[in-house]
A and B are shown apart, each in its own frame.
Chain A
Amino acid sequence: MNIQSSFWDKFLKNKRNKYSLLIFIFFFILSLFAEILSNDKPIVLSMDDKLYFPIFISYTDKEFGGFFDTEADYKDEFITSRLKEESNWAIFPLNPHSYDSINISQSTPNPASPSTYNYLGTDDRGRDVLARLIYGFRLSVLFAFALTAIGIIIGIFFGAIQGYFAGRVDLYMQRFIEIWSSMPELYILIIFSSLFEPSISLLIILLSLFGWMGLSDYVRAEFLKGRNMEYVIAARTLGLSNTKIILKHILPNSMVSVITFLPFRISGAILVLTSLDFLGLGVPPDTPSLGELLAQGKENIEAWWLSLTTFLVLVGTLLLLIFIGEGIRESLDSRSS
């Protein structure tokens, strides 16, 4: 289609846009394979001429000749010594730690500075910082995607109804939004996180309750404009149903504002999650999160590897998203050449 292809031409013509998008996609896809990149279990393991795939299949300690029915600990002295036997071998991921694996045999006190064993050091509970960064990045981005998607769907839904039907419907819904948006979001979050077990899904639900309003305003404005366009009036005279007019005629022509906001909403969502985690109101304690790492960095100000690395990951991610967003905005703007 013509409009789309000219958009991509414009977008990719700018090198900053192109590389920002490519780098972001690269790191995001890489982080999707976090289990293979950074894990305390080997990718492949051969013991007594039998192949095992511990990342994909869970094996008990007994299967390797141990005593426990629980899952094998591949850092345990028993298994490491068995792996040293002839013809037994294991391939570990590039970073042989998972986000929650605690290194008990570490000789230095935690947080430990970067070493050949923990490339970016450990946090104050002895967990590998690099592993936590990789998993934390993935979680932040996925969380942001989910939050943005839900916000957009709800926002378009309400904005479209308000803008298309206008009049009374618009009036009542606008008043509802005014009341709803004046609720103190942060306090509701604090109250709910003390009432319920904190979890990612609870966080998404709570944030979605409020996150759609900014977007619905824009969609409403686009629909208010669109409903009086002559092609929309023409569609009504052709006897089309309201749903069809909304979906086929007005929505495609109102998507510009939605798409323009997309990257900014994603970066906003990442920032919200990080801030909540920093305050300790976000995800449950064991979950890898950038905000929690920053909080640790604040507690252990001398452990520069905590705050500096997290800061760089966060700034890098947000910067890329803002560059992409800026690029999309410029490419959709028909006035700029």
Chain B
Amino acid sequence: MKILKIKNLTVLNRNTKEILLNNISFELNQGEILGIVGESGSGKTLTGLSILGLLDKSIFTIQSGSIIYNDIDILKLSDSQIQKIRTKSISVVFQEPMLSLNPVQKISAQLIEVIRIHMNYSPNEQIKVARDILIKTGLNDTQKILDSYPHMLSGGQRQRIMIAIALVCKPEILIADEPTTALDVTLQLQILELLKNVKSENNMSMVLISHDLDLIKNYADKVIILKNGILLEEGSSFEIFNTPNHEYTKSLINSRPEKLVTKKIESDVLLDIQNLSCRFPINNAFFNKNKKYFTALREINFHINSGETIGLVGESGSGKTTLGLSIMQLLNYSGKIFLNNVDLSSLTLDKLRESRKDYQIVFQDPYSSLSPRMNILEILSEGILSFNNISESEILKKCSDLMSEVGLEPSMLKRYPHQFSGGQRQRIAIARALSMKPKLIIFDEPTSALDVIVQKNILKLIVDLQNKYGLSYCFISHDLKVISAISHRIYVIKDSKIVESNNSDELISNPKNDYTRKLIQSSFII
């Protein structure tokens, strides 16, 4: 039975008249999970929002089309009529659980508000319904949860509450817009299983929006592929993943990281870390003598050989970024970090500044890692000029070379960061690191903010540069798939400690630690 029919939906940007959704048509059957896949900017979230009638009329214009639910065209309804459908019949779970919950209201208030508006229950029954739904979403300590404010709960708990709010009225359709993207991998699996179970229990239909192909492949019955607001391909999950027709779909499917490094390297130790610990004061009391500390890193020991990539994998909050920043000498730490047998912590400030050219870092977010008010030439030349005094024409030559090295046109040097796409910016960030001719580059989640196809190209670039210059890499990521594709050796880090390390193939095929096993399971099943 067709429960939702979208016909020829075209949405424009009201001001620029740019077409954001171009003649989209698809149908949703009862009890089915429809996956919408696309890169950022492909219009997948927009599609979800238009089903709910949530498009901001001052920004978007719906030019044509209809969204038929129960023989009613949602696009023709008044605001108060849509209000009755939302949450009660069509519900939504957004990506960011911190932003979706009101930080100044208790969970009970936010959950019961929905029950009160949409269902006729007495106050006592309302609380009972709230508790039932929380238990259903796996939050068993209901009283504690109901009395909490959002900041007191973890990301996974918050997302469960969002799901509880979305499901409490037993809607017929649930729109899940990247429901697990902001969560750690081990949590992702739990949340998706939860959604799947609730779906089959209530015979609900679901629209699952995601950029993650593996996730869609495992959970969706039917898939549509969106690109630049155009529906490229539609079909059952099996068809799409086994016999894709469109070139773009093929490249999407091929974009899953594959093993990029093979050879095992026997060489000298470049970086040696001994007993590295790092802690931050929690209570910032100035006069308070007994300070409390949060330990971000505990007794870390590891080494990187020259020409080798090591992968550091762990959840958010595990301390992997802190480790990166400690190696970069940007944090106070205890323990010793040797680079080429020189103890970096013992260097004077001048010597330390001198040593910085040997190790560089590339950050996750290409939007905040380039100064918006400097052009690319200024960004790339800055490091070179802080150590050498060379002429302008030489600088221009060097920067042009760097640009070609990372696959960008040298003629783009006069542009500003906002004129580049995310992938291009990340290339610029890599070029900036290369400009110092370092021996070691730390990559802190360099591809997490990028679309899958771009991600694959960046990873290739990184490996090519290693082969060309014999660079050593420390690759930090939460994504085991990326890590295993690019690293020779992997260190698994959890709760400030390294719990397991091994050659990457052996670690994946034969994990010893429980946590590693769980991580591998979640990463490769989704």
Contacts and interface: CB of A to CB of B under 8 A. Distances in A.
Contacts of B382: 235, 238, 240, 248
B429 A239 contact: no
B368 A238 contact: no
B386 interface: yes
A229 B15 CA distance: 32
A171 interface: yes
Most buried by B among A171, A230, A235, A236: A230
Nearest to A175: B286
Given A231-B368, A249-B371, A253-B371, A238 B416 contact: no
Interface stretch (B39-47, B133-141, B356-364, B506-514): B356-364
Interface string B417-455: 011000000000100100010000000000000000000
B521 interface: no
A241 B382 CA distance: 11
B386 A3 contact: no
B374 A248 contact: yes
Given A239-B386, A239-B387, A231 B369 contact: yes
A130 B365 CA distance: 60
B330 A233 contact: yes
A199 to B, nearest CB: 40
A252 interface: yes
A337 interface: yes
A234 B416 contact: no
Given A229-B368, A240-B382, A234 B361 contact: yes
Contact of A237 (B330, B365, B372, B416): B330
A10 to B, nearest CB: 14
B371 to A, nearest CB: 4
Contacts of A235: 371, 382
Nearest to A239: B356
A68 B386 CA distance: 68
B354 interface: yes
Nearest to A253: B373
A239 B371 contact: no
Contacts of B273: none
A244 interface: yes
A233 B361 CA distance: 9
Given A231-B368, A244-B386, A337-B15, A237 B373 contact: no
B372 A238 contact: no
B115 interface: no
B383 A239 contact: yes
Interface in A240-293: 240-241, 244, 248-249, 252-253
A255 B416 CA distance: 18
Contacts of B374: 248-249, 252
Interface in B329-347: 330
A238 B380 CA distance: 10
A230 B354 contact: no
A2 B372 CA distance: 10
Indicate the member of A237, A240, A244 with the most B CB atoms within 10 Å.
A237
A3 B372 CA distance: 9
A240 B386 contact: yes
B363 A234 contact: yes
Majority DSSP secondary structure for residues of A touching B: helix
Contacts of B371: 231-232, 235, 248-249, 252-253
A230 B372 contact: no
A76 to B, nearest CB: 61
B282 to A, nearest CB: 15
A234 B432 contact: yes
Contacts of B368: 229-231
B495 to A, nearest CB: 24
Contact of B429 (A2, A234, A337): A234
Nearest to B370: A231
Contacts of A229: 368
Given A237-B356, A239-B354, A244-B386, A2 B369 contact: no
A171 B286 CA distance: 9
A2 B356 CA distance: 32
Contacts of B116: none
Nearest to B382: A238
A308 B362 CA distance: 64
Given A237-B361, A238-B383, A239-B387, A230 B356 contact: no
Contacts of B330: 233, 236-237
Contacts of A237: 328, 330, 356, 359-361
B353 interface: yes
Contacts of B418: 2
Contacts of A2: 416, 418-419
Contacts of B369: 230-231, 234
A235 B354 CA distance: 14
Nearest to A240: B386
Interface in B444-493: none
Interface in B388-421: 416, 418-419
A230 B386 contact: no
B293 to A, nearest CB: 16
Contacts of B360: 237-238
A238 B429 contact: no
A230 B325 CA distance: 11
Interface in A14-42: none
Contacts of A253: 371-373
A239 B372 contact: no
Nearest to B415: A2
Contact of B363 (A230, A236, A239, A241): A230
Contacts of B383: 238-240
Contacts of B416: 1-3
B373 A3 contact: yes
A321 to B, nearest CB: 27
B384 to A, nearest CB: 9
A243 to B, nearest CB: 12
A146 B370 CA distance: 35
Nearest to B359: A237
B218 to A, nearest CB: 34
Nearest to A226: B371
A229 to B, nearest CB: 6
Most buried by B among A1, A3, A231: A231
Contacts of B15: 337
Contacts of A233: 325, 328, 330, 361, 363
Given A239-B353, A239-B386, A230 B365 contact: yes
23 contacts: A3-B416, A229-B368, A230-B363, A231-B371, A233-B325, A233-B330, A234-B369, A235-B371, A236-B330, A237-B328, A237-B330, A237-B359, A238-B356, A238-B382, A238-B383, A239-B357, A239-B383, A239-B386, A239-B436, A240-B386, A241-B353, A252-B373, A253-B373
Given A239-B387, A240-B382, 4 more contacts: A233-B325, A239-B354, A241-B386, A337-B15
